[in-house]
Structure 1
Amino acid sequence: MSLVKLTIKGISYSQTQNGAYALILNEVDGERNLPIVIGAFEAQSIAIALEKEIKPPRPLTHDLFKNFADRFDIVVKQVIIHKLVDGVFFSSIICERDKIEEIIDARTSDAIALAIRFEAPIFTYKNILDKAGIYLKINPTEETTTNENTDDVLSTPEVFKSETTSNTKEDYQQFSLQELYNKLEQAVQNEDYEKAAKIRDEISKKES
């Protein structure tokens, strides 16, 4: 079976499954997307790994795994989403140490969180993408197929949304860039990464 390389398209709050998020993977040489429902903690861990401005003051679980692996010269070479059963994706982490390769089973959300930290490629098999891949609507004029679990899909992977942040009414437009940077640093120190991501988005708007 042939492998298809994937990239991370974005993360959105699932409007159909309370407390869950939709991680959207995009095939590199095609237009299909692979939506995967993940939990809030895993969504936060993936989003933080994608964020360049947010550096947690203490390592998260996946950061700890990365530090542990680095200490013992273990490298994650690639992640393969190898099975889909009843809507649940199964993945394998391909590791290497002293030129010896090992395959470790993992939840797909954990595997991807680690793949980002190791800058390892993500793959799936063509038959899985044929079965679960979808075409997302890019704009209202395009007639493409959508999936109800991928509503409000983000256009970039740097944005992290949650039910909490979507309901927050605080307006950051009134603050200067320096004030926003100060607030960003304070949010990171308080480990409030959802707030930090929202502030970061406002900084990006002001600097563009």
Structure 2
Amino acid sequence: MIEMDIRGIVLDPITNMPIVVLQSKETDDILSIWIGVFEANAISMKLENIHMPRPMTYDLMVNLIENLSADISYILINDLNDNTYYAEIVLNKDGQEIRIDSRPSDAINLAIRKNVPIFVEERVLQEYKKDIQSEVDENELEEWIKSLKPEDFES
């Protein structure tokens, strides 16, 4: 498993859909996942420390988990199938590990609210890199990553 940080949210210049960009804590490897507008907005609001007066959906989910005496240990992006990513939210309840199937965007939203690690299976990252290399010249991708500016991550 490779631990990742959230680099930010950018918009796909062609589809105008949000992309969450994750980067390995130890290397320059990145993983870009296209996500929904509402999920991107929730991630951006949390990253920018914008607080709502009432709990939003992901805050509610965290409250439910905590009130059931469980903790979120970490999240894991564990599969890539037909351009769809899969994730698990890994909970700990009374020493027992509980894995819950999740969309990556929902799992990431919970991870940033509880400040828990975000992991990606190495094979998922390798498959992403293979797919992206077949679609985009590696130099173009590297130049795109280097060209990102802080304002590109604003929603």
TM-score normalized by the length of structure 1? 0.64
Larger radius of gyration: 1
> Would you tell me which structure has more strand in proportion to its own residues?
2
Per-residue CA shift, 1:120-144, capped at 9, x if unaligned?
A: 1011111211221469xxxxxxx83
Distance 1:156 1:5, change over 3 A: farther
Q: Once the 2 structures are TM-superposed, how far is the Cα of residue 156 of structure 1 from its aligned partner?
A: 7.9
Aligned partner of 1:86 in structure 2 is 82
SS at match of 2:69: coil
Distance 2:93 2:113 in 1: 17
Q: Once the 2 structures are TM-superposed, how far is the Cα of residue 81 of structure 1 from its aligned partner?
A: 0.6
Aligned partner of 1:30 in structure 2 is 27
TM-score normalized by the length of structure 2? 0.84
Q: Which runs of 5+ in 1 are unaligned?
A: 136-142, 162-208
Per-residue CA shift, 1:98-157, capped at 9, x if unaligned?
A: 11110000001001000111111011111211221469xxxxxxx83429x98x855489
Give yes or no for contact 1:69–1:75 (8 Å, CA) kept in 2: yes
SS at match of 1:30: coil
Aligned partner of 1:160 in structure 2 is 154
Equivalences, count: 147
Aligned partner of 2:41 in structure 1 is 44
52, 55, 79: which is aligned to 1:59? Answer: 55
The runs of at least 4 consecutive aligned structure 1 residues that moved more than 3 Å come to: 152-157
Aligned partner of 1:146 in structure 2 is 141
Coordinate RMSD, CA, aligned = 2.5
Distance 1:33 1:82 in 2: 15
Aligned partner of 1:14 in structure 2 is 12
Give yes or no for contact 1:10–1:154 (8 Å, CA) kept in 2: no
| 1:71-82 matches, cutoff 5 A | 71-82=67-78
Q: Which runs of 5+ in 2 are unaligned?
A: none
